[in-house]
Amino acid sequence: MRIVFAGTPEFAAEHLQALLDSPYQVVAVYTQPDRPAGRGQKLMPSPVKQLASAHDIPVLQPPSLRNPEAQAELAALLPDLLVVVAYGLILPQAVLDIPRLGCINSHASLLPRWRGAAPIQRAVQAGDRESGVTVMRMEAGLDTGPMLLKVVTAITADDTGGSLHDRLAKMGPPAVIEAIAGLQAGTLEGEDQDDALATYAHKLNKDEARIDWSRPAIELERLIRAFNPWPVCHSTLGGDSVKVLAAKLTTGQGSPGEILGASKDGLVVACGEQALCLTRLQVPGGKPLNFSDLFNSRREQFAVGAVLGQ
């Protein structure tokens, strides 16, 4: 079984590690071109490239797979199977047709719910009760292929985008290994998705992380969890930016963004409906702290009646 792997972030690297630990042969790895990162904006290899390089596996980083040269390069590897996990590039039909057994994808949602770029965060944001990983055959459409198998996990009231990501990153790799074995044995058949049930997980952006206090508290509580650790929900207070990393629902009424109370238990802020108790914040120049650690030193800044978001 000659496998070519395509992926980019840490979620994908977990899957690559499982393949490296398996009996299957990873003959090459595709990942996105190095990107500038950090204060120095130095070019940084992806987590998948770092792992592949550490195991002396050839790494290819074409900016696109649409041109004939890139496709010929893939065909020359004679892959039996292409395994794709959060690669970030569109695979045209000509690429999907190259491997003998086709292409499979590990997607971090229970398809057809949450096709697209940010399924983990959107599931938390929407208040879904469960999530999981779907291993599917790839088609030219966006996450539309037949489903080969699913693994499921509950989304708890304490889950963040980060905690759910980490759990799914451990659940996905064994599912992929199981799917490969089934494909090799010819015992695994795909189940078509019901397009009528599909939802789209839009890519995250920093603009939507700005807290609109006129929204209901329950929506904002989910958003705060979904966007932790990135892009992190934020607001302003007295001209300063304040990042909100954790909050819980509470009672209270007032103008949206108005501080209704402050104690070591948290900062109570009025929303469009009900209120939120902010329990973990980050202020400029500081690190993330529980509000109990901020309360004594910044009591005046968080005075009752002050308004966030203005």
Q: What is the pLDDT of residue 17?
A: 98
Higher pLDDT, 125 or 301: 125
Note the Cα 93 to chain centre separation in Å. 26
| Cβ count near 192 (within 10 Å) | 10
Q: What is the pLDDT of residue 40?
A: 82
| CATH label, 206-295, candidates 3.30.460.20, 3.10.25.10, 3.40.50.11810, 3.20.20.70 | 3.10.25.10
Do 215 and 271 touch, CB atoms closer than 8 A?
yes
| CATH label, 2-201, candidates 3.90.470.20, 2.170.120.40, 3.30.360.10, 3.40.50.170 | 3.40.50.170
Residue 298 clears pLDDT 90, i.e. is over it: no
User: pLDDT tens for residues 14-38?
Assistant: 999 999 999 999 999 999 999 988 7
User: pLDDT tens for residues 169-197?
Assistant: 999 999 999 999 999 999 999 999 999 99
User: pLDDT tens for residues 192-217?
Assistant: 999 999 999 999 999 999 999 999 99
What's the average model confidence in pLDDT over 81-104? Answer: 96
Q: What is the pLDDT of residue 44?
A: 93
The token pair at 138 is 């790839």
- Residue 184 to residue 188: CA distance in whole angstroms: 9
Across 142-171, b (16+ Cβ under 10 Å) vs e yields ebbbebbbbbebebeeebbbbbbbebbbeb
Q: What is the pLDDT of residue 41?
A: 84
> In sequence order, what DSSP letters do the residues of 145-185 get, joined into one string?
SPEEEEEEEEPPTT--HHHHHHHHHHHHHHHHHHHHHHHHH
User: pLDDT tens for residues 251-282?
Assistant: 999 999 999 999 999 999 999 999 999 999 99
Q: What is the pLDDT of residue 37?
A: 82
Do 276 and 282 touch, CB atoms closer than 8 A?
no
Q: Helix, strand or coil for residue 69?
A: helix
pLDDT confidence of 299, banded at 50, 70, 90? confident
- Residue 245 to residue 276: CA distance in whole angstroms: 12
- Residue 176 to residue 136: CA distance in whole angstroms: 9
Q: What is the pLDDT of residue 198?
A: 98
Sequence spans of domains, the chain: 2-201, 206-295
pLDDT confidence of 130, banded at 50, 70, 90? very high
How high is the mean pLDDT of the chain?
96
pTM of the model: 0.95
